[in-house]
Chains A and B, each alone.
Chain A
Amino acid sequence: MAYPASMTAQTGRGVYRALVLRKKLVLLALAIVLVLSIIADLGLGPARYGMREVVLALVGSPEVSNQVSVVIWDIRMPVALMAVVVGAALSAAGAQMQTILNNPLASPFTLGISAAASFGASLALVFGVGLLPFAIEYVVSINALLMAMAAALFIHLMSQKRGVTVETIVLLGITLVFTFNALLALVQFLASEQALAAVVFWTMGSLTRATWPKLAITTLIVIVALPLFFRRAWALTALRLGEDKAASFGVDVRRVRLETMLIVSVLAAVPVAFVGTIGFVGLVGPHIARMLIGEDQRFFLPASALSGAAMLSLTSVISKSLIPGSIIPIGIITALVGVPFLFSLIMTNRRRAW
């Protein structure tokens, strides 16, 4: 956008207001894309329904048959909504990791948190080892969650050490990815054929594991976490000006970082624990949001959540439509779709994002 060079102070305010309005419109557009994608997602499957049918079933119209209503509400709805909340959670987690670690490469996937979760899950799948003695039904998820949180806290503690730079954190994350991948390979090597298949499928990430209780837990975490970030919106935005600058504004940088990292670790770990490894949403979602809306956290945070949700929901649509009658695990599709999309955004956007 070009603004006249000779701008008076009076219009500075006006331009800012117009900018805020534009950001709100971008958020609205993202929300509309998300809703359309959910409707498409609900319509797709072994039986295909049109948009009109889906909408009628959603509003409980007597025009649609009971069978269609059951398919949409009981079978497809948890999966479709899981895509939305998982996408939102991973993207918001990635956004805040990038913010507090001041690193464009930070995401649950690239810093080894997803790999740690996979390793934790594989322990349960292969050996039946639970890291907590209760909740047998959720043993895979709990193992994944605990390992993911441990990895996130490890990254955080290391990033606090004196002389640790942005590059060091990425290197550290990569060492975690390699370590957990090696451990995962070791577990797979020792696994029985049946357990091996379960592990491989788990690491691919699939939304078909979604159930109403899992959806409820993930939704609850997103609903609790986002307002906690939002409350700190100005402080988190200030971190983008550098640690010294934020501190000189009175931001308690250490505390904001620690609190944010704790919330991020839960936000990143729970989805991975329930649906397996879904890469790139946590990396790409925030970058899309940043390019669309900038880094003012009041808009950047909802934009990250919405773009992550829309991205995963659209990916779910694609994973159902590529090979008719079969659902490709969504973890495979996210990378294949997300990366070219990010690539084209980077190449067409002339403003430097980092």
Chain B
Amino acid sequence: MVATLQLNAVGVRYGKREVLSGITTPTLKGGEVTAVIGPNAAGKSSLFRRIAGLLSGPGDIAIDGFPEQSASRICYMPQDTSVNTVLMVYESILLARKQGADPRVSDADLEAVDKVLGSLHIESIAFKGLSELSGGQRQLVSLAQTLVRDPDILLLDEPTSALDLHKQVEVLSLIQSLARRRQMCVVLAIHDLNQVLRVADRVMVIDAGTMVRCGPAEAVITPELLRDIYKVEGRIERCSRLCYQVIIDGPIVHQA
């Protein structure tokens, strides 16, 4: 069965301060990639933490049509990947897989770890300590820890923010192909609009704690969005039959 995720009037409050409210989405289906975009501090991370069950708040989150929080179905990759431990990369990925499972390590477990290391091309750092890694390497390992759990619903909070261009393209393509192949429902926060246009089937725009737009990438990412949400002048150009490109002219200059 294909996993689905649907939010209904979901919100988050810190004490009395409402950081997110009334987020209602269409049904996000397995096999699709949904990008969540918006300015800094718009509430993207709070939304992810709310869906992952790390924050509570009003509204319903339905998985496969049922209101539930099941960690084995959802896997969330936090934005902050900083760690302070002598655990090795390999051990950290293995332990991600073993949570809530049979505590004994089987051949299948090690095989799964090797496979995920291979798919992200990080075999060479497998036996390095986590705190010895660079920011980009940590991000790849964090993603590996998430993927090894083989979730139905994958929540990635800025999974490529510390990666070089080659790795960004590679990782996002991998995520897209995993979504298609394993019918995973992927929701990812990301700032690079060109990457959004390349991989996302659907885009949700969060601004100041509410969802202001939601739809197919080409329909949502427009010069008006650049102007209204990001305060920059720009245009979207079609560069081939399948591909669009955002071209930024510069920030909007306020006239006195």
Is B199 close to A, CB under 8 A? no
Which residues 219-242 of A have a CB within 8 angstroms of B? 233-235, 237-238, 240-242
Q: Which residue of A lies closest to B98 (CB)?
A: A234
With an 8 Å Cβ cutoff, the count of chain A residues facing the other chain is 39
A19 touches B78 (CB 8 A): no
Indicate whether A343 reaches chain B with its CB closer than 8 angstroms. no
**Are A12 and B78 in contact (CB-based, < 8 A)?**
no
B85 touches A240 (CB 8 A): yes
Contacts of A255 in B (CB 8 A): none
A197 interface residue, CB < 8 Å from B? Answer: no
Q: How far is the CB of B112 from chain A (nearest CB, A)?
A: 10
Interface presence of B68 (CB below 8 A): no
- Which residues from chain A contact B99 at a C-beta distance below 8 Å? 234-235, 238, 249-251
Tell me, yes or no, whether B92 is within 8 Å of chain A by CB: yes
With an 8 A cutoff between CB atoms, is A132 at the interface? no
From B76, B88, B95, give the contact of A248 (CB < 8 A).
B76
Distance between A106 CB and nearest chain B CB, rounded to angstroms: 13
A237 and B54 form a contact (CB under 8 A): no
List the one stretch of B17-25, B122-130, B219-227 in contact with chain A.
Answer: B122-130
Asked if A241 and B72 make an inter-chain contact with CB atoms under 8 angstroms apart, the answer reads no
The answer on a CB contact under 8 Å between A353 and B78 is no
Contact B76 A234 (CB under 8 A): no
- Complex Cα gap A3–B94 (Å): 19
Rounded to whole Å, the gap between the CB of B124 and the closest CB of chain A is 5
Query: Which residues does chain A contribute within 8 Å of B113, judged by CB atoms?
Result: 12-13, 16
Task: State the Cβ distance, B158 to closest chain A Cβ, in Å.
Answer: 13
Partner of A8 from the list B75, B123, B130 (CB cut-off 8 Å) is B123
Contact of B87 among A9, A240, A247 (CB under 8 A): A240
Chain A residues with Cβ below 8 Å from B114 are: 9-10, 12-13
Kindly report which residue of chain B lies nearest to residue A233, judged by CB atoms. B103
Bound complex: CA of A242 vs CA of B95, how far in Å? 13
B71 interface hit (Cβ, 8 Å): yes
Contact (A9, B123) CB under 8 Å given A250-B71, A351-B86 = yes
B95 and A9: CB pair below 8 A?
A: no
A contact residues vs B (CB 8 Å cutoff): 1, 3, 5-10, 12-13, 15-17, 19, 102, 233-235, 237-238, 240-242, 244-245, 247-251, 290-291, 294-296, 351-354
Q: Can you show 14 pairs from A to B with CB atoms below 8 A apart?
A: A16-B94, A17-B110, A240-B85, A241-B85, A241-B92, A242-B83, A244-B80, A247-B54, A248-B146, A249-B100, A251-B99, A294-B88, A352-B86, A352-B132
With contacts A5-B124, A6-B124, A241-B92 known, what are 17 further pairs, Cβ within 8 A?
A1-B127, A12-B117, A13-B111, A16-B94, A234-B103, A235-B99, A240-B87, A241-B83, A244-B49, A247-B52, A247-B53, A248-B54, A248-B146, A249-B71, A250-B72, A250-B100, A353-B86
